[in-house]
Amino acid sequence: MPTSARLAAAVCYGLLAWIVSGMVIEVVPEKENWGSFQPFNALVGLVVGWFVVGKRVRVDYVTAMGIGFTGMVAAVFWVLFFHSFNTMLELALDRRYDGPVEAIVSIFKIALEYSAYLVHVHIIATLVVGGILSGMIAEFVDRRWS
């Protein structure tokens, strides 16, 4: 059921994903063609905000902070998974794997490599503060307009 809290959480997490994606683009200079990196991550943020955070609010603000942090972790997980899966498919089409199990295991190795790009103070701070604030905003909107 669409609620104002779900909409607020979706917008907040979409915006957070867009901002952090821009920060990652600045940190990774060797890649030149980013394609739809930012819009895709924003879409994942929208979905996570809607389904993970938006439906769990209607609690107190301290719990909303925890829900916001959990939503941020879920968004990072899904973004890493989808991009790693996409990279694995590209490598599999180039016949770089000996079998399907090796390809599936490589998803996690690629995700670990990609997560190294997130280990910068400004990116971590933006994710943590943005996730917590997004949870609190969703809670505020739920209390105010539902």
CA distance 23 to 60: 31
Q: What is the DSSP letter of 96?
A: -
Residue range 104-143, pLDDT digits in tens = 999 999 999 999 999 999 999 999 999 999 999 999 999 9
Cα angle for residues 134, 107, 36 (degrees, 5° grid)? 55
Identify the pLDDT of residue 32.
Answer: 76
Residue range 86-106, pLDDT digits in tens = 999 999 999 999 999 999 999
Q: φ, ψ for residue 30 (rounded to 5)?
A: -75, -20
